[in-house]
Amino acid sequence: MDKNQLAEDIQFMRRIVERTHRRIDPGAPIMITWGTICMIGMPGTQWLVNHGMQDWIGRMWIGLSAIGFALTLLFVYQIRKRELAHGVSSVISGQIGLVWNILWPNGVLWTVLGLYTDPYGGPGFLWAALYGIGLSMMGILYSKEWLIAGIAVFISIPIAKFALPYSYTILGVVMGLGCIVPGMIALRRMRQWEAEDAAA
């Protein structure tokens, strides 16, 4: 086997692996949905606290979460259908889903049971930490924008701690943008790849 052929074989394998990776759907619409919920819910919580309307916090979050879960189920169904139609059932998509499926019940359990009390400022900080872990994992499994978003969330936690009157707003904006911006980048990239593949 000559060296040129070996190099060609390696190049060929790399090209095939890259082409398959292009078909992996990170679930960008789901991330954009939950990012939007963070951007509404967290500053909303702050506003309700500042206006003495704490009773509305639970109701607001139940409403937002219900919308989030309904949209998530719809998007998961669409992604699954598209994957089967395209002929790609991605293991990375499954791993990303698994990460969030582990983080979410933990966050809900700790919040609802009050296991997370107030030494660092409240459940908003717990959720920020969980989002930071989830986004960082997506960065490792999928692409680096998510990792940058995860790091930004971790950086925002101590900043919010030192600005407690604005903590939920700071965390909400960073968590929201941390989901929305990489989600839009991923969506744009996927559309670009689809157009390239169709043209090829």
Partner 1 sequence: MPRLDPTKLDDLLLSRVRLGILSALAGGDELGFTFLRDSLGLTDGNLSVQMRKLEDARYLTIRKIFVDQKPKTFCRISPEGRGALVAFVKYLAGVLEKG
- CA atoms of 151 and 136, how far apart (whole Å): 7
Minimum separation from the CB atom of position 157 to partner 1 (A)? 33
Residue whose CB is less far from partner 1, 50 or 89 = 89
Residue 102's Cβ-count burial label (10 Å; 0-12, 13-18, 19+) is: middle
Residue whose CB is less far from partner 1, 95 or 106 = 95
Q: Which sign, positive or negative, has the C-alpha torsion 100, 188, 79, 17?
A: negative
Residue whose CB is less far from partner 1, 13 or 74 = 13
Residue whose CB is less far from partner 1, 85 or 113 = 85
Minimum separation from the CB atom of position 197 to partner 1 (A)? 9
- Is the separation of the CB atoms in 186 and 28 below 8 Å? yes
Angle ∠(8,198,7) on CA atoms, nearest 5? 5
Minimum separation from the CB atom of position 108 to partner 1 (A)? 30
Minimum separation from the CB atom of position 32 to partner 1 (A)? 24
Interface residues toward partner 1, by CB under 8 A? 1, 3, 6-7, 9-10, 12-13, 16-17, 19-21, 23-24, 84-92
Residue whose CB is less far from partner 1, 7 or 109 = 7
How far apart are the two ends of the chain, measured CA to CA in Å?
31
Minimum separation from the CB atom of position 7 to partner 1 (A)? 7
- CA atoms of 127 and 106, how far apart (whole Å): 10
- Is the separation of the CB atoms in 135 and 150 below 8 Å? yes
